[in-house]
Amino acid sequence: MAEQITMQVARYRPEQEEAPTFQEYEVPCPKDWVILDGLNYVKDRLDGTLSYRWSCRMGICGSCGMTVNGEPKLTCATFLADYAPGPLRVEPLRNFPVIRDLVVEIGDFMRKLVRVKPWIVRDDEKPVSEGEYLQTPQELDEYKQFSMCINCMLCYAACPIYGLDQAFIGPAAIALAQRYNLDTRDEGAAERHEVLSQHEGIWGCTFVGECTEVCPKNVDPAGAIQRYKLTAAMDSLRALVMPRGSR
């Protein structure tokens, strides 16, 4: 039989309690179990009342982000055995309101994401009969890293600026805006600039860099934000020097 590990799981049942408490569960700890397996074991065998989000189990859907021993982690990509002999503490993602147990309210992020228009914006759509919008591998490389974002929101949980000022548009939304700004097929950079150049846009970021540290997909949102700051600053400078021909 595999060894056991103690999971201290945050519980918040708003109909019962004012603030979250911790409940301990003993779960098996085989080498190949991730934290999500431990939570599923609790749900299936020990306590069916535990609430949490998950879907794909393979680091694609971005649903199972939680705080593990104080660090934002994808629970499907973090092994239980790495925390042996335990105990390990599982809490909801920080900086978001908690709805129940490990489930956080993500509406704020979803609304911000839409504001940066994370899709290809075209001035004129060419007819399908004219074929695809072609792109070279080099052009793809420009934005590919930023396109790996799975919207898991670990970067928001790690960002103290977002924690202190919820108006900040946040790392993932800016990285995704950059993903489309750097795409040669896109023509929406000016529209996104309206949102990104506001105080709560890129200038809210003070480059703590933790968003990049915790990103499970190596997206480097901090890099995306700083690169956009450089672009925005150069645009402003150009507008100042050449007021008529800057754009």
Partner 1 sequence: MSGPRIAGARHPRWFRPHVSTYWWLRRRSYFAFIMRELSSIFVAWGVIYLLLLVRAVSHGASRYQEFLAWSVRPVVLAINLVTLGFVVYHAITWFNLSPQAMVVRLRGKRVPPLWILASNYLACAVISAFVLWLVLAGGG
Give the interface with partner 1 as residue ranges (CB under 8 A): 12, 14-15, 19-20, 70, 94, 97-99, 105, 107-108, 138, 160, 163-164, 206-210, 212-213, 220, 222-223, 226-227, 229-230
Tell me the closest approach of the beta carbon of residue 10 to partner 1, in angstroms.
Answer: 10
Return the number of the residue (2 or 230) whose C-beta is nearest partner 1.
Answer: 230
Angle, CA 24 vertex, CA 19 and CA 28 arms, to 5°: 145
Tell me the closest approach of the beta carbon of residue 223 to partner 1, in angstroms.
Answer: 4
Report d(CA 93, CA 190) in Å as an integer.
Answer: 33
Tell me the closest approach of the beta carbon of residue 33 to partner 1, in angstroms.
Answer: 27
Return the number of the residue (68 or 76) whose C-beta is nearest partner 1.
Answer: 68
Sequence-ordered list of residues with C-beta below 8 angstroms from that of 28, at least 6 positions apart, any chain: 1, 2, 3, 4, 5, 41
Return the number of the residue (108 or 186) whose C-beta is nearest partner 1.
Answer: 108
E-strand ranges in 84-216 read 88-91, 98-100, 103-104
Return the number of the residue (129 or 138) whose C-beta is nearest partner 1.
Answer: 138
Tell me the closest approach of the beta carbon of residue 229 to partner 1, in angstroms.
Answer: 7
Instruction: Look at residue 156 and give its three-state secondary structure.
Output: helix
Report d(CA 70, CA 83) in Å as an integer.
Answer: 12
Half-sphere exposure of 201 (CA within 13 A, CB side): 17
Tell me the closest approach of the beta carbon of residue 170 to partner 1, in angstroms.
Answer: 15
146 neighbors 176 (Cβ within 8 angstroms): yes
Return the number of the residue (29 or 155) whose C-beta is nearest partner 1.
Answer: 155
Instruction: Look at residue 213 and give its three-state secondary structure.
Output: helix
